[in-house]
């Protein structure tokens, strides 16, 4: 059963920021993650501040520089089916389409998707784990088949969003508004590793909210894709995924982004794989080398060594897909 809380639906950003700055307040967009957390007593809330009255946070707008602004309240379905996103930022359309189920994509927003809480069964269960302020990460010595093979530290949860690695591969930025005004944070700096602070997943401060995602214009010749590996064909989180974006001159790779999902507490960029790709044309040998690089520094736990091979496979399949398209 849901606990008792106050529900408020501001109609202006100023009002939303004021309401969010009060103790115990939490932002609610689609509610598909938040309400489950409250029902399961993962954390508490005194007040839910619905963002749904803030119409300026909805929709996709093309920018004068050729980039794109995506309002935080834009649903995953809208992101997955938007013509411009599909044409210019395929990796994001594919990632949004691969997230959750049709019902969840209709209700869940892109702002909520990048701010959703970890899915670790200890965190979601009745355990006072490190991320909830306890002393122990139970997954380290416990059931850790779905946990991190990179970047785990005091906590080995994996970041659950499919759109976040795609946004990172596209060099997107996050715009935030809060009691101290507005700021813009590159996606690469938005997520927080456990070694820095294991009690939070993002740099969003209390009282702040995400208002929009900003995508820079893609290179003149660009291809991108998202390969997601999961236990079931639908309604399931990534066990491993690879978001890959390439800028090309002819067939030669001029810029590369390779960002993994499902394997680290944050979307995991693998610059070693990117460096391997730049300056070359995609060939079987290059794809193999880049895929090897992507998995090279993994430190698997007792139950998840299989993910190392999945990383190689996801990166190789994403790159092969791009070669076939190019």
Ligand X SMILES: Cc1cc2nc3c(=O)[nH]c(=O)nc-3n(C[C@H](O)[C@H](O)[C@H](O)COP(=O)(O)OP(=O)(O)OC[C@H]3O[C@@H](n4cnc5c(N)ncnc54)[C@H](O)[C@@H]3O)c2cc1C
Q: How far from 278 is each of 87, 198, 247, 272, CA to CA, in Å?
A: 23, 34, 9, 10
Which is closer to ligand X, CB of 111 or CB of 247?
Answer: 111
Q: Tell me, what DSSP letter sits at residue 13? A: H
Which is closer to ligand X, CB of 233 or CB of 250?
Answer: 233
Task: Report the DSSP beta bridge partners of residue 176.
Answer: 183, 210
Which is closer to ligand X, CB of 26 or CB of 289?
Answer: 26
State the nearest-atom distance from the C-beta of 287 to ligand X, in Å. 26
- Closest residue to bound ligand X by CB: 112
State the nearest-atom distance from the C-beta of 271 to ligand X, in Å. 23
State the nearest-atom distance from the C-beta of 300 to ligand X, in Å. 22
117's tokens: 């809480």
Please give the angle made by the CA atoms of 209, 213 and 216, to the nearest 5 degrees.
150
Which is closer to ligand X, CB of 64 or CB of 234?
Answer: 234
The helix (run of H) or strand (run of E) holding residue 244 is strand 240-249
- CA–CA separation, 193 and 213 (whole Å): 21
Closest CA to 309 of 318, 298, 301: 298
Interface with ligand X by CB under 6 A: which residues?
A: 26-34, 36, 51, 72, 76, 99-100, 104, 107-109, 111-113, 115-117, 160-162, 204, 209-210, 235-237
State the nearest-atom distance from the C-beta of 23 to ligand X, in Å. 15
**Mode of pairing for the β-strands spanning 209-215 and 68-71:** antiparallel
Which is closer to ligand X, CB of 115 or CB of 187?
Answer: 115
State the nearest-atom distance from the C-beta of 109 to ligand X, in Å. 4
């Amino acid at each position: 059963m849901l606990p008792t809380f106050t529900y408020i639906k501001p109609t202006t950003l100023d009002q939303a920021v004021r309401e969010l700055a009060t103790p115990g307040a939490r932002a609610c967009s689609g509610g598909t993650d938040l309400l489950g957390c409250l029902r399961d007593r993962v954390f508490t809330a005194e007040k839910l501040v619905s963002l749904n009255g803030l119409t300026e946070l909805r929709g996709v707008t093309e920018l004068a520089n050729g980039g794109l602004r995506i309002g935080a309240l834009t649903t995953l379905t809208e992101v997955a089916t938007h013509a411009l996103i599909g044409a210019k930022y395929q990796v994001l359309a594919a990632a949004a389409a691969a997230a959750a189920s049709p019902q969840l994509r209709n209700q869940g927003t892109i702002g909520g998707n990048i701010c959703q809480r970890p899915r670790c069964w200890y965190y979601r269960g009745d355990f006072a784990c490190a991320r909830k302020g306890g002393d122990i990460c139970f997954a380290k010595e416990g059931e850790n088949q779905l946990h991190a093979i990179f970047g785990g530290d005091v906590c080995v949860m994996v970041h659950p969003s499919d759109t976040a690695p795609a946004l990172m591969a596209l060099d997107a930025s996050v715009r935030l508004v809060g009691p101290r005004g507005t700021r813009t944070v590159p996606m690469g700096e938005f997520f927080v590793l456990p070694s820095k602070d294991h009690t939070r997943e993002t740099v969003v401060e209390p009282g702040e909210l995400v208002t929009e995602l900003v995508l820079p214009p893609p290179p003149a010749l660009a291809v991108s894709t998202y390969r997601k590996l999961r236990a079931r064909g639908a309604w399931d989180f990534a066990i491993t995924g690879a978001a890959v974006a390439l800028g090309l001159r002819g067939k030669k790779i001029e810029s590369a982004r390779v960002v993994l999902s499902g394997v680290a507490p944050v979307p995991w960029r693998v610059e070693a794989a990117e460096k391997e790709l730049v300056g070359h044309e995609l060939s079987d040998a290059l794809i193999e080398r880049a895929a090897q690089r992507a998995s090279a520094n993994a430190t698997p736990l007792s139950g998840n060594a299989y993910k190392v091979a999945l990383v190689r496979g996801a990166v190789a399949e994403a790159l092969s897909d791009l070669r076939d398209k190019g």
